[in-house]
């Protein structure tokens, strides 16, 4: 019996029979369109970022970044993009989100002096999952610096799409490491984007829930987080239930799509498109950050899905087609050869270039034996526990949540996300007013307190794309 692919029309039809009438969600005023036809792509890669080592038996292998870059170069994709060697993030940039004592610990601790810091290991969640290895803070500076520089490139309108495969470490918290992640480059990148863009959408297709990013922006309506992940209550990090929807001004702005073991190409791509179409139509983001964790691929060392590289890339293509300023980062992925294949293929999607399935000769070709193919067979290892009824139920729950949102929020009436950003101007009263009541929300809005970002001066300042204020209609 032939394998079903994610674009099998007969299969997709079984999921779409209840949704025949499709809306066109894109609004020109929500998108900063380039004045040219060709998509401008910028690629950020620090040549040293793949040289760090978590430990012999640790599943996280930064060397996968070196393999990815070699495939990108040997396929000739560098000729389709601007290539940048990013600078390292500074202490002050990392402190925009992370706590002083935690950053100081990362700067000072080494394998040689680790015994001196054992009393704070539990405080900062350092141990087996997040070990101390040589150059740990330097490693963080490299991948975080690339994400920050990529965000600034989008702000300056120097590119339509920016790529940093070394980024995407979505578990790190303000005061602690988590899930192989020490510094949350995604949060730092989003904070940069918020200086200019009114609304930022974060989309996560890693098999693990994007808990660190969700937590950072849980109480703001300027960032919507959408995470597709395995969830059963026990699978790391244990968060990501569909009922985690945000709080305070951010209530309903956290969207979680919990999935079961073995989800296949057809089911995943169908649900992804349904959710993303609705989210973008409702939230109307000004910029998007897409985390492409490759541990959601079939045959991943830590994963339990059945996704092919083609289906994983289809999600990237769906996001790209909205033509909204886009920052693409890496994430999880623990079968190194498949991570490199996946991110190389997705780079080709972002630069509109078809690749041969035969891998080009390169220094690390032996990693890809025995098939030496860009698209190995990865699906079918596990039974798909996501039946049609379950997928339709998840879809309906997400649509119900989005119906609580009264269109895209008007930036002129929002507070900037809480003081983790470091660029509020000290309005303590505003920061303390964080309750869910409509009265409290109305009161904050009627006071017309606006915490403006560094370069953003209202909706009329975003390349002429004014978004009508809800309150303007009342005046």
Is 421 domain-assigned?
no
What is the H or E stretch that residue 83 is in?
strand 82-84
Is 226 domain-assigned?
yes
How far, in Å, CA of 51 to CA of 343, rounded?
18
Looking at residue 411, its pLDDT comes to 61
Is 26 domain-assigned?
no
Looking at residue 441, its pLDDT comes to 46
Is 282 domain-assigned?
yes
CATH number for the domain harbouring residue 50: 3.40.800.20
Give the HSE-up count for residue 436: Cα atoms under 13 Å, Cβ half-sphere: 6
Q: Tokens representing 312?
A: 């994983």
Is 15 domain-assigned?
no
Residue 276 vs residues 110, 118, 194, 221, 372: alpha-carbon distances, Å = 42, 44, 21, 17, 33
* Entry field: residues in the chain: 475
Q: Residues with Cβ < 8 Å from 254, sequence gap 6 or more?
A: 214, 217, 218, 224, 225, 244, 245, 246
pTM for this prediction:
0.82
Q: What is the DSSP letter of 89?
A: P
Domains in the chain, number:
1
Q: To 5 degrees, how large is the angle CA 48–CA 296–CA 330?
A: 25
Spacing of C-alpha 171 from chain mean position: 11
Looking at residue 131, its pLDDT comes to 98
- Binding site members for a divalent metal cation: 206, 208, 295
Q: 171, 209, 229, 312: which one is catalytic?
A: 171
Is 121 domain-assigned?
yes
Cβ atoms < 10 Å from Cβ of 236: 16
Q: Tokens representing 133?
A: 């290895």
Looking at residue 38, its pLDDT comes to 86
Is 267 domain-assigned?
yes
Is 428 domain-assigned?
no
Active site residue 171: yes
How far, in Å, CA of 113 to CA of 116, rounded?
6
Do residues 376 and 341 touch, judged by C-beta distance below 8 A? yes
380 lies in which domain range? Answer: 38-403
- For the chain, report the end-to-end CA distance as a whole number of angstroms: 65
**pLDDT, tens digit only, all 475 positions of the chain:** 444 455 444 444 444 444 443 333 333 333 444 445 689 999 999 999 999 999 999 999 999 999 999 999 999 999 999 999 999 999 999 999 999 999 999 999 999 999 999 999 999 999 999 999 999 999 999 999 999 999 999 999 999 999 999 999 999 999 999 999 999 999 999 999 999 999 999 999 999 999 999 999 999 999 999 999 999 999 999 999 999 999 999 999 999 999 999 999 999 999 999 999 999 999 999 999 999 999 999 999 999 999 999 999 999 999 999 999 999 999 999 999 999 999 999 999 999 999 999 999 999 999 999 999 999 999 777 999 999 999 999 999 999 999 999 666 766 544 445 444 443 333 333 344 444 444 444 444 433 333 334 444 444 444 333 333 322 333 3
- Binding site members: 129, 179, 206, 208, 295, 334
How far, in Å, CA of 252 to CA of 288, rounded?
18
Looking at residue 407, its pLDDT comes to 67
Residue 254 buriedness (CB in 10 A; 0-12 / 13-18 / 19+)? buried
């Amino acid at each position: 019996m032939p394998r079903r692919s994610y674009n099998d029309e007969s299969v997709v039809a079984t999921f779409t029979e209840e949704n025949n009438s499709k809306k066109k969600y894109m609004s020109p005023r929500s998108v900063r369109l380039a004045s040219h036809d060709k998509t401008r792509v910028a690629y950020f890669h620090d040549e040293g970022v793949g040289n760090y080592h978590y430990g012999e038996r640790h599943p996280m292998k930064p060397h996968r970044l070196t393999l990815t870059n070699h495939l990108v170069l040997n396929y000739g994709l560098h000729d389709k993009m601007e290539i940048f060697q990013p600078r390292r993030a500074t202490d002050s940039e990392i402190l925009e989100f992370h706590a002083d004592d935690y950053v100081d610990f990362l700067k000072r601790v080494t394998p040689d002096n680790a015994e001196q810091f054992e009393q704070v290991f539990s405080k900062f969640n350092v141990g087996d999952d997040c070990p101390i290895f040589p150059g740990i803070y330097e490693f963080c500076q490299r991948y975080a610096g690339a994400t920050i520089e990529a965000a600034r490139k989008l702000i300056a309108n120097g590119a339509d799409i920016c790529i940093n495969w070394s980024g995407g470490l979505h578990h790190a918290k303000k005061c602690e490491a988590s899930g192989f992640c020490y510094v949350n480059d995604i949060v730092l990148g989003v904070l940069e984007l918020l200086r200019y863009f009114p609304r930022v959408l974060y989309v996560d297709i890693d098999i693990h829930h994007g808990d660190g990013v969700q937590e950072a922006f849980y109480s703001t309506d300027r960032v919507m987080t959408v995470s597709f992940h395995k969830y059963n209550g026990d699978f790391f990090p244990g968060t990501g239930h569909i009922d985690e929807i945000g709080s305070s001004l951010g209530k309903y702005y956290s969207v979680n799509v919990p999935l079961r073991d073995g989800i296949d190409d057809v089911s995943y791509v169908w649900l992804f498109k349904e959710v993303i179409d609705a989210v973008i139509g409702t939230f109307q983001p000004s910029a998007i950050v897409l985390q492409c964790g490759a541990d959601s691929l079939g045959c991943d060392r830590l994963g339990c899905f059945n996704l092919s590289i083609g289906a994983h890339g289809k999600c990237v293509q769906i996001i790209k087609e909205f033509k909204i300023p886009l920052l693409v980062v890496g994430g999880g992925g623990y079968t190194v050869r498949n991570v490199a294949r996946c991110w190389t293929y997705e780079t080709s999607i972002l630069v509109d270039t078809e690749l041969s399935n035969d891998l080009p000769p390169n220094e690390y070709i032996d990693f890809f034996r025995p098939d030496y193919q860009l698209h190995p067979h990865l699906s079918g290892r596990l039974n798909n526990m996501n039946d049609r009824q379950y997928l339709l139920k998840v879809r309906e729950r997400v649509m119900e949540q989005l119906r609580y949102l009264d269109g895209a929020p008007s930036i002129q009436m929002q507070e900037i996300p809480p003081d983790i950003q470091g660029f509020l101007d000290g309005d303590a009263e505003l920061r303390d007013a964080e309750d869910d009541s409509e009265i409290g929300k109305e009161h904050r809005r009627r006071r017309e307190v606006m915490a403006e970002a560094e370069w953003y001066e209202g909706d009329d300042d975003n390349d002429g794309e004014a978004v009508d204020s809800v309150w303007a209609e009342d005046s």
